[in-house]
Every structure is written in C-alpha cells, then in structure tokens.
Amino acid sequence: MTQPNSRISKAVVPAAGLGTRFLPATKATPKEMLPVVDKPAIQYVVEEAVAAGLSDVLMITGRNKRPLEDHFDRNYELEEALARKGDARRLGQVQEPSDLATMHYVRQGDPRGLGHAVLCAAPHVGDQPFAVLLGDDLIDPRDPLLSRMIGIREREGGSVVALMEVDPSQIHRYGCAAVASTGEPDVVRVTGLVEKPDPSEAPSNLAVIGRYVLDPAVFAVLRETRPGLGDEIQLTDALAELAGDERTGGPVHGVVFRGRRYDTGDRGAYLRAIVRLACEREDLGPEFRDWLRHYVNEEM
Ligand code: G1P
C-alpha cells in the first residue's frame, strides 16, 4: 500500500462503452457526448474531477471516440469565427473544456469490462492513488462527494467507494457492499462486495455509484482477476479482494452519499436528469418550469 498521504492528482474516466442503450443516437456519436441540457455529459464529469483538485484526467476510450478528444481540444476555426463576431460568451463556452484539465487518452482495445478499463490506466497512473469517475453518474456540484472520499483515503489509506441507499428491488443494477460501521456518520468499512446481486442474495441495500478512490494495489489484483459477471473483468471483484485482505492494499471504506445524483445511464433516467437540471438553470429554468407545470397539469 502507498502512503495514505500521497497526493491524489489523477482521475481516470472510463469511456469506451458502446452506448447500445441509446442507439441509434450513439451509432456515430459517443454516448458520453450526448447533451445534458446543453453540455455533453462527459464535461460535467471532468468538471467534477477538477473541482476535487484533480487536474490530470485520463480517458479510457475506444474506436469511434474521437469526438471526446475534439471536445477537450481547441477549435481554432470556431473560436476565430466567434471572435470575429464579438460573441465573447459563446467563445468562452468553446474554450472552457480545453482549459479545464490536462487530458490524456488511452484506448482499451478489447472491451473486457470496467476492471479491464481501469487496468489500462496503470502505466499512466503509476504507483499513486487515483480517482475513477464513471460517466453515467453525474453528481451535483453543490453536494461534493469526491473531495470527501479523497479526505478519507488520505486519512485511512486503502481505497474508498461511493455508496448510495437504493430500494432493495433495484440493487441488481449495481455493485452491492456488505459493510460494518465506523462510528463516523456516513462512513462505513466495506467488508465485502458483489456485482449486481439478485435482491434475495444482496448483503445490503447499499449500491456502489460511479466514484472510486483507489489504491494502486488494485492494479496487481486486477491482473489476477478472472472474468466475472457477464464474462467481464469486474472492478467490483477486485475491490472485494482488497476489502478482504489488508495486505493486498485494503482497507476499503465507503462514503454513503445522500446528495443529488443524476443517472444518465438509460433513456428514462437520462430524460429525468435533463428535466431536473433544466428546471434548476437560472437562464432556462423559470420559463421551462412554467411550461412543464402547464404541460403536466393541462396535457397529461
Ligand atoms: C458499474 C459497476 C457497478 C456500479 C455501477 C455504478 O456498472 O460495475 O458495480 O454499481 O457501475 O454506476 P455498469 O453500470 O457499468 O454496468
């Protein structure tokens, strides 16, 4: 295990998935580029990493993911056109993503699961703890989660996962944690983890949501992790190993998140995320809320 106080500066964002749940929109566009109101989902994730002090972002990509790289790069043609028009506001919007963080990209090649995607980050991350952010979960910036997880890693060492209480009937959609109390509010010790269990076999109703702070010891474990559920190398299985054995890079703690989270992982959740975020926008919200109220009352 590395020293608990090694500074965390790197974020890993797996983005190699095929996005089949959003076809045909994702035939030629990565699902990470789908807009949530007017910003691609992936930009929220990078902004969250940056807000937690992580200025080095490695994206794990694959074929057809070029638009991700373009989004976080300069676009001189567009910038020049907006500058000529004197449209400073839009020019700022175009430049913002490229100024956020130092971006790096590596291709996953074979899509062999989330654990395999994280393993692709090993050469870049090296022997330092790092964060993993999954793009299907957006965390409201007013309810900071990652900085709290980083604080726990710095104090306790090991790895930290984000957990959320879900209705037991929904636990089969997530990794699920068996936990023990630590005495600290909303911080638990993870004693076991199982990927997408049947509700009748789930050890709790605590679901893993897509934020992790990981000890680099996870790489050695992932190299040995056999394909699990769905014949994929599961990050959950590697973390279960770490949770069970202090010597291999544990402990694993969990932070129980009670803030605002927007799921963009399937079509229904994605639509709800857009409506909620649009309602809260200062520029669009007032008019949109009026329209929505009218629509719900009069037309539904
Ligand atoms: C992944 C993880 C799962 C976790 C989920 C959170 O699953 O494997 O443990 O609960 O992300 O969003 P996926 O949703 O990629 O199938």
> What would the pLDDT profile of 69-124 be if each residue is shown by its tens digit?
999 999 999 999 999 999 999 999 999 999 999 999 999 988 899 999 999 999 99
Q: Do 126 and 42 belong to one domain?
A: yes
Residue 104 lies in a domain: yes
Residue 5 lies in a domain: no
Q: Do 162 and 282 belong to one domain?
A: no
Q: Do 34 and 112 belong to one domain?
A: yes
Gap between the Cα atoms of 67 and 281, Å rounded: 26
Is pLDDT at 1 greater than 60 in this prediction? no
Gap between the Cα atoms of 54 and 63, Å rounded: 26
| Residue nearest (by alpha carbon) to ligand 1 atom 10 | 174
Angle of CA points 202, 135, 198, to nearest 5°: 15
Q: How confident is the model at residue 230, as a pLDDT? A: 92
**Amino acid residing at 31:** K
DSSP class of residue 142 equals T
Beta bridge partners of 212: 132, 161
Residue 293 lies in a domain: yes
Residue 95 lies in a domain: yes
Mutate to test the pocket of ligand 1, among 45, 119, 206, 208 (most ligand atoms within 8 A of CB): 208
Gap between the Cα atoms of 233 and 118, Å rounded: 10
Give ligand 1 pocket residues (Cβ under 6 A): 114, 134, 136-137, 174-175, 195, 207-210, 234-236, 265
Measured CA to CA in angstroms, residue 110 lies from 18, 28, 116, 229 at distances of 12, 19, 9, 17
pTM of the predicted protein model: 0.95
Which tens digits make up the pLDDT trace of 242-290?
998 766 777 999 999 999 999 998 999 999 999 999 999 999 999 999 9
**In angstroms, what is the span from residue 96 Cα to ligand 1's centroid?**
29
Q: Do 100 and 142 belong to one domain?
A: yes
Contact 217, 281 (CB under 8 A): no
Is pLDDT at 3 greater than 80 in this prediction? no
Q: Do 247 and 270 belong to one domain?
A: no
| Residue nearest (by alpha carbon) to ligand 1 atom 15 | 114
Q: Which atom of ligand 1 is nearest to the CA of 114?
A: 8
Q: Do 36 and 92 belong to one domain?
A: yes
Q: Do 135 and 176 belong to one domain?
A: yes
**Residue range(s) defining the domain that contains residue 282:** 266-300
Measured CA to CA in angstroms, residue 201 lies from 46, 95, 123, 241 at distances of 35, 49, 37, 19
Q: Do 110 and 204 belong to one domain?
A: yes
Q: How many residues does this entry show for the chain?
A: 300
Secondary structure of the chain: what % helix, strand, coil (to 5)?
45, 25, 35
Paired tokens of 249: 């890079």
Q: Do 163 and 20 belong to one domain?
A: yes
Angle of CA points 152, 218, 246, to nearest 5°: 65
Kindly state the average pLDDT of the residues 36-62.
97
Report whether the peptide linkage leading into residue 4 is cis, meaning its omega lies within 30 degrees of zero.
Answer: no
Return the residue matching tokens 């028009």: 85
Dihedrals phi, psi of 114, to nearest 5 degrees: -65, -40
Gap between the Cα atoms of 231 and 222, Å rounded: 14
Mutate to test the pocket of ligand 1, among 32, 118, 174 (most ligand atoms within 8 A of CB): 174
Q: Do 215 and 291 belong to one domain?
A: no
Paired tokens of 273: 């995320």
Q: Do 148 and 235 belong to one domain?
A: yes
Which tens digits make up the pLDDT trace of 109-155?
888 999 999 999 999 999 999 999 999 999 999 999 999 999 999 99
Domain count, the chain: 2
